[in-house]
Amino acid sequence: SRLVARTSAVPSGLAYAPFAAQRCFSGVSKVAVLQDQQIPREDATKILESRGFNVAWSLQEPSDADAVVTVTSPITEEVLDRHPACKLVAVSFTGFNHVDLEACKKRGIAVVNVPAYSTDAVAELSVGLAIAVYREIPGGERTIRSGNWVHSTGGLELRNKVVGIVGLGDIGLRTAELFRAFQPRELLGWSRKEKPAFTAAPTLGHHVGLEELFERADIVSLHVALNAETQGFVGRSLLEKLRPEAVLINVARGGVIDQKAMADLLCQRRFRAGLDVFEKEPIPADDPILQVPAEQVVLTPHVAYKTVEALQRRMEITADNLRAFADGSAKNVVLTAP
């Protein structure tokens, strides 16, 4: 019979006692990995086996596995058909919009994810992109490689600037903490619900409305999840409130911004940006964002989450999610199986 999943918090530590490989709980003993986990395959296999699972790498092949593991590879009706014994989809990622939840629900399959593995990594890149834009780091390298030396009249400092954080979840709060270290004049924040941790020491931020944040901030950093409510959330009207000296940072999801409007305004030099995520990934060759002058934008290929430490942590938490489900105490649940 299928388990009824229950949610609980991710444990603070990542040390887990190994389980003997032959142990089997609740009918879950075999795991099919459907996508490369971005760490060495032998490391991923070892982590899963240490939790008591037999592991099969089934990138395209069918399996009789009790659970499947994916990162961003879509889980569709067709994929589920190849794994008819599946009781659980374990997403080794925070986002899960690539999983057909209706198909899983219809089949009685639970879905879990990894909500907090890359908090530091993403927050650090947000600050890094702001510095890269302010200090013209990519432009300076281009100048040197072209045989020149003097690049510009000078960059800008983070100190004494107004920083705005849009979305005050774990990553947004951590980003605010990091920016606080640079002694900004003010830290502004927007969230659907006010977060006491944002206004308390050491962050000492101030909640404001979204329009006010875009009007006042020198740096706007986006940290909202992509869903039906946030698709195109930052539209042209908000973008037009940014001043020419402002910098927009997006390490959330490309779809939360009207990318066509953003590209148009960047080409008009209405503001600058540091972007790690895009509406379509990889970016199509004819995407307008690639026509933006290089001095107006710094681009990175969706690497905010991608540090050695975060990817290892992600695999550990995924294995723990599988173990918890098998033991009848599921956590990090996106969809509960009936």
- Residue 182, pLDDT > 80, answer yes
Task: Report pLDDT for 337.
Answer: 85
Among 19-28, 211-220, 244-253, 312-321, name the one with the lowest average pLDDT: 19-28
Catalytic residues: 253, 281, 302
Task: Report pLDDT for 26.
Answer: 52
Among 24-38, 85-99, 182-196, 232-246, name the one with the lowest average pLDDT: 24-38
Give the mean model confidence (pLDDT) for residues 169-176: 97
Give the mean model confidence (pLDDT) for residues 295-303: 98
Task: Report pLDDT for 27.
Answer: 62
Mean pLDDT of the chain: 92
Task: Report pLDDT for 222.
Answer: 98
Give the mean model confidence (pLDDT) for residues 75-103: 96
> Is it true that the peptide bond before 138 is cis, omega within 30 degrees of 0?
no
Please check whether residue 96 is in contact with residue 334, taking contact to mean a CB–CB distance below 8 angstroms: yes
Task: Report pLDDT for 21.
Answer: 32
pLDDT confidence band for 304 (50 / 70 / 90): very high
Please check whether residue 241 is in contact with residue 271, taking contact to mean a CB–CB distance below 8 angstroms: no
- Residue 28, pLDDT > 70, answer yes
Give the mean model confidence (pLDDT) for residues 158-172: 98
- Residue 14, pLDDT > 60, answer no
**pTM for this model (two decimals):** 0.86
Task: Report pLDDT for 305.
Answer: 95
Whole-number Å distance between alpha carbons of 326 and 21: 14
- Residue 2, pLDDT > 50, answer no
